[in-house]
């Protein structure tokens, strides 16, 4: 689940839903390959090998793309939190 990317201790289910909605909005701001990597790995729960095959890239490259996607998503999330 995308919320697990941040491993936050969220107390209420309503707050969890809010975070998921916010993260989904931020995902739309990511480049296509980042969004695809996050979707395949976290939402479709594919492993590195399966996801890299779908994206037609090496497993090592997939891991790099996924790392950069997480970093970018975290930055967008933190920027949004600091703007509030």
Quote the distance between the C-alpha of residue 67 and its chain's center: 9
Whether the predicted pLDDT of 1 surpasses 50:
no
**Better-scored residue on pLDDT, 75 or 19:** 75
What is the residue whose two structure tokens read 């739309």?
A: 28
Q: What is the C-alpha separation between 73 and 26, in angstroms, rounded?
A: 7
**Alpha helix stretches (DSSP H) within the chain:** 13-27, 32-38, 48-55, 59-83
- pTM score of the predicted model: 0.78
Q: Model confidence over 4-54: pLDDT tens digits?
A: 554 455 567 777 777 778 888 899 999 999 999 999 998 899 999 999 999
Own/partner contacts of 51-56, CB < 8 Å, gap of 24 or more, are none
């Amino acid at each position: 689940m995308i919320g697990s990317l941040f491993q936050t201790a969220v107390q209420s289910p309503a707050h969890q839903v809010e975070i998921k909605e916010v993260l989904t909005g931020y995902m739309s701001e990511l480049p296509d390959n980042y969004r695809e990597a996050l979707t395949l790995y976290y939402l479709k729960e594919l492993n590195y090998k399966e996801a890299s095959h779908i994206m037609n890239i090496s497993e090592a490259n997939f891991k790099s793309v996924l790392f950069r996607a997480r970093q970018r998503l975290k930055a967008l999330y933190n920027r949004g939190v600091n703007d509030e």
